[in-house]
């Protein structure tokens, strides 16, 4: 892949807002700002309705902090409007609230956990083979309705209007494009979405540090690839005394010294989008992605004893 300004590889992070507070993420963003690593942070509009915690755009201090991040160059995107089940009316008001805070609608949606208002989630995420297996084994025990017109959770029409990118599969390796070379893409059986993309799995501190080791960064450089990491900076990157994890800090400092194109996720996806030769993927490609994804999930469970 040829990257802008003859950079050796491309890199970004999407930070999931689960359980995030100013105190448990600020040292991370201070470090990223220091090294000019401007990435994508997701937010919630409303306080969680379930067991998840975290500050939201209903907290004045948090709004001020997140707006400051945006002014510095960080990208702010959506992780649903909150944790729990939200009605269409709540969602549409939440989107307008997001716009009132940031002067634009979100262009990226990261489906959260078991929210009923998730878009094309559960078995609907996958190609025909894995979709039918999941439906048979689990009998649709958990359904998602953000794309179902008759549902009180439907907001697919507004997603189509405002949300350009939605995340789907995650993979273990550092070169995200190696797993999903056609991303971002559209799917014909998902009319209320625009483009879909994959990410590399840095879910927790341990996974992030192993993924972003100097050895893997050098590998990514040789492959001239893209690493789009999905993570949770609230998950132990900062200890109870406000100190950053040592290995994380070292890995970020090593990354900052590379000839890398580091940018918010949507900027990199826009670049890929302009270069893509196809817009829609077929079911064969989705099934191949599912096989890779399933293999990666099995390896992860063995590696981390989940």
Quick check: 72 pLDDT over 90? Answer: yes
Residue pair 232/204 in contact by the 8 Å Cβ criterion? yes
Instruction: Report pLDDT digits (tens) over 168-223.
Output: 999 999 999 999 999 999 999 999 999 999 999 999 999 999 999 999 999 999 99
Strand partners, 280: 186
Pairing of β 9-15 and β 260-262: parallel
- For residue 185, CA distances in Å to 148, 194, 263 come to 21, 8, 20
pLDDT for position 304: 85
The rounded distance, in Å, linking the Cα atoms of 228 and 167 is 11
Structure tokens of 287? 């099934």
H-state helical runs in the chain: 22-34, 60-72, 88-102, 128-138, 156-162, 176-179, 205-211, 214-223, 246-256, 265-275, 283-304
Q: What is the pLDDT of residue 140?
A: 63
- Give the model's pLDDT for residue 277: 87
Mean pLDDT, rounded, of the chain: 96
Structure tokens belonging to residue 103: 């002067």
Domains by residue range for the chain, with CATH: 4-84+164-304 (3.20.20.370)
CA-CA distance, 249 to 283, in Å (whole number)?
Answer: 41
Query: What 3-state DSSP class applies to 155?
Result: coil
8, two tokens: 């050796």
pLDDT number for residue 141: 66
Residue 305 — very low, low, confident or very high, per pLDDT cuts 50/70/90? confident
Query: Is 90 exceeded by the pLDDT of residue 136?
Result: no
**Residue 76 pLDDT grade (very low, low, confident, very high; cuts 50, 70, 90):** very high
Mean pLDDT of 147-175: 98
Secondary structure (3-state) at 186: strand
pLDDT in tens, 220-270: 999 999 999 999 999 999 999 999 999 999 999 999 999 999 999 999 999
Give me the mean pLDDT over the 99-103 stretch: 98
Please say if the pLDDT value at position 135 is more than 90.
Answer: no
Report how far residue 170's alpha carbon sits from residue 165's, in angstroms, rounded to the nearest whole number. 15
pTM, 2 dp: 0.97
As a whole number of angstroms, the distance between CA 263 and CA 269 comes to 10
């Amino acid at each position: 892949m040829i990257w802008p300004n003859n950079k050796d590889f491309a890199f970004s992070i999407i930070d999931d807002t689960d359980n995030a507070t100013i105190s448990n993420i600020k040292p991370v963003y201070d470090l990223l700002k220091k090294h000019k690593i401007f990435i994508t942070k997701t937010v919630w509009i409303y306080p969680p309705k379930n067991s998840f915690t975290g500050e939201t755009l209903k907290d004045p201090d948090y709004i001020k902090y997140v707006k400051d991040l945006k002014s510095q160059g960080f990208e702010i995107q959506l992780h649903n409007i909150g944790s729990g089940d939200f009605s269409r009316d709540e969602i549409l008001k939440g989107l307008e609230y997001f716009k009132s805070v940031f002067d634009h609608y979100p262009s990226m949606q990261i489906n959260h956990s078991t929210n009923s208002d998730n878009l094309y989630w559960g078995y609907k995420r996958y190609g025909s083979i894995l979709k039918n297996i999941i439906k048979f084994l689990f009998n649709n025990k958990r359904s998602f309705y953000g794309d179902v017109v008759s549902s009180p959770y439907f907001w697919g029409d507004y997603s189509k209007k405002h949300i350009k990118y939605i995340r789907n599969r995650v993979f273990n390796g550092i070169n995200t494009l190696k797993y999903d070379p056609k991303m971002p893409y559209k799917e014909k059986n998902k009319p209320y979405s625009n483009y879909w993309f994959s990410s590399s799995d840095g879910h927790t501190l341990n996974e992030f540090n192993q993924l972003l080791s100097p050895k893997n960064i050098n590998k990514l450089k040789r492959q001239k690839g893209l690493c789009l990491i999905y993570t949770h900076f609230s998950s132990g990157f900062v200890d109870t005394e406000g100190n950053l994890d040592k290995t994380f800090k070292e890995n970020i400092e090593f990354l900052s010294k590379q000839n890398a194109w580091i940018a918010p996720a949507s900027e990199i996806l826009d670049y890929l989008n302009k270069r893509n030769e196809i817009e829609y993927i077929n079911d064969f490609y989705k099934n191949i992605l599912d096989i890779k994804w399933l293999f990666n999930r099995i390896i992860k469970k063995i590696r981390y004893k989940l």
